[in-house]
Amino acid sequence: MKEIPEGLWLLLALTDSESELRALENKYGKLGGGSSKASIDDLYAFDLDIFLGAVEVSLHTISQEMREKWDPVLLDRLYKEDKFRNERDPREKAFSTFLDWLNTGLRFEEVIVQAEWEGATLVLKPLTRTLLAKAWLQLYEAMSNPVPWKQCDYCKTPFPIRRKGAIYCSDSCRAGAYKKRKGILK
């Protein structure tokens, strides 16, 4: 299994088909509980719908200025501008809806927190069993400290923009893109 990218929550939100979900499961591990077939069917029935709704609503909780820094391709696929238009306080309504769905997802996926002592410091570590649980935790972390995201120009994996002008998610993608431009890699 490959290392789980920090943009797993966006990869999951951007999947358009069962075959894409199966590809994620094959690449990174089990998405949900039960057998592989059952987990994908269950995800489509309930879990994934709530997760996708939470991702969309989460984008209403961040400021307009932050959204403007996001990759427009990602926003076009994930953000519905008029979702809370008729609310008296749209951002507050989005936040309470997001919080309800986040708590539901974390409870349903049975995310627990383990405490360990590292010297004199108590360290809390969340434990997850499934990819969907990891995605819920990533969504929580992304909304706790919002940063803009974009898709890697080489592998199309979403990544947080940490410096202006970043177009690749990793050094290996930058090298792969260079080799592709030079005709070394097809």
Is the pTM here over 0.85, yes or no? no
> Is 70 contained in some domain?
yes
- Domain range for 135 is 8-181
Q: Each residue of 45-98: pLDDT tens digit?
A: 567 788 888 998 898 888 888 888 999 888 888 887 777 777 888 888 888 999
Q: Residue 35 has what pLDDT?
A: 45
Residue 63 lies in a domain: yes
Task: Write the CB contacts of 116 (distance below 8 Å, at least 6 apart in sequence).
Answer: 122, 123, 125
The candidate with the shortest Cα–Cα distance to 127, out of 114, 115, 144, 116, is: 114
> How far apart, in whole angstroms, are the C-alpha atoms of residue 154 and residue 29?
23
CB 39 within 8 A of CB 31: yes
Question: How does the average pLDDT of the chain come out, rounded?
Answer: 85
Token pair belonging to 160 = 């947080």
Q: Which of 78-82, 111-115, 117-121, 160-164 has the lowest mean pLDDT?
A: 78-82
Does some domain include residue 162? yes
Q: Which conformational region is residue 29 in: left (phi greater than 0), alpha (psi within -120 to 50 degrees), or beta?
A: left
Please check whether residue 1 lies inside any domain of the structure.
no
Is 186 among the domain residues?
no
**How many independent structural domains does the chain possess?**
1
What's the whole-number mean pLDDT along residues 136-162?
91
Strand 149-151 versus strand 121-127 pairing type? unpaired
